[in-house]
Structure 1
Amino acid sequence: MVTITISPDYGYVLAAAVSTFAVAQWLGMRVTPFRKAAKIPYPYEYASYEQVQTASPERAKAMILFNSAQRAHQNFNENYPVALGAMLIAGLQYPKAAAILGAVWSVNRVIYGWGYTQGLEGGKGRYYGILWMFAHFGLIGYAGTSAWKIINM
């Protein structure tokens, strides 16, 4: 039987994990004003290509910004379970590294979401927050290493 002792530094991992809750809420709430400006009713998730192409330039821009805000939120949701799980697993063996990478992930998800809605062609503003991806893969690597260490205890 393996006994895992959790370091007092694991509290930092939990704090980083809690920060992701705030990011999730912020990204979700951020979509609403863009939806209203684009006049896209519920339950439609995005403005369609056809809607954007046939809209006035002002409305088309609002629709593209809505789609960008929605896409930033969806991208977060697609990557969130892996990041959170990896953060919690990595923190078992590497609490400080997991906490730092978790914080970098959260901050850069905010920058990514903000950047995506800056109206740059093709949503290129999202690249301002590209560090989230490096933190994401770092967390996965540390999680794998943590699992390996625990298996070999």
Structure 2
Amino acid sequence: MSVVIGTSYVWNIVAATVMGLQTAAFAGCASKQKAKLGLPHSAEVGSRATEKLSSEENEEFSRFQKVHQAHVEYTPLAQSSVLLAGLFYPKLSAYAGAVYIVGRLVYSFAYIKCGPDSRKYGAALTCPSIVVLLGATFYGSAKALELV
């Protein structure tokens, strides 16, 4: 079996690029939050630099940091999955990538504005999209290897 990359694969590339841009954007949001609070760039949650913050400021800073960390942790998996699954199922994986992007936005904004309990709405979109992407990657690979 040979893999032919057609024009529909371009949407997979776009989805992977947007995923990377989201991660960079929320890194910028976290940095702006540090600047707003007068924290050094290297400040982390629970560090000496954050001791001067009020409880509310510390909680808000913590939310920004956690959202950024979640992006950093999941972006490599999402990007590689949308690109690899796209080799076999370009439209399915592009749609799943789009759902992931929207879910990650919902997750991020809900978490920052409303707290940890609100992230479930975004997770309800991101988790199934990752499962679809991974499933398409493994199934497409198994099919290419003539295992199924």
| Structure-1 separation of matches of 2:126 and 2:65 | 18
- Which residue in 2 is equivalent to 1:33? 32
Q: Does 1:128 align with 2:121?
A: yes
Partners of 1:101 and 1:138 within 8 A in 2: yes
| Structure-2 separation of matches of 1:78 and 1:143 | 19
Letter in 2 for 1:139: L
Letter in 2 for 1:42: H
| 1:9 shift after superposition | 1.1
Q: Does 1:72 align with 2:67?
A: yes
| 1:37 shift after superposition | 3.8
| Structure-2 separation of matches of 1:23 and 1:111 | 12
| 1:32 shift after superposition | 2.2
Superposed structure 1 runs of 4+ greater than 4 Å apart: none
- Which residue in 1 is equivalent to 2:4? 5
- Which residue in 1 is equivalent to 2:142? 148
Aligned partner (choices 34, 53, 57) of residue 62 of structure 1: 57
| Structure-1 separation of matches of 2:2 and 2:135 | 22
| Structure-1 separation of matches of 2:97 and 2:110 | 20
Partners of 1:40 and 1:46 within 8 A in 2: no
Pairing 1:92-103 to 2, within 5 Å after superposition: 92-103=87-98
Letter in 1 for 2:117: K
Q: CA RMSD, aligned part only?
A: 2.1
| Structure-1 separation of matches of 2:10 and 2:93 | 11
| 1:21 shift after superposition | 2.3
| 1:125 shift after superposition | 2.2
Q: What is the TM-score normalised by the length of structure 1? A: 0.83
| Structure-1 separation of matches of 2:15 and 2:41 | 33
Partners of 2:85 and 2:133 within 8 A in 1: yes
| Structure-2 separation of matches of 1:77 and 1:118 | 20
Partners of 1:40 and 1:47 within 8 A in 2: no
Gaps in structure 2 of 5+ consecutive residues: none
Partners of 2:30 and 2:65 within 8 A in 1: yes
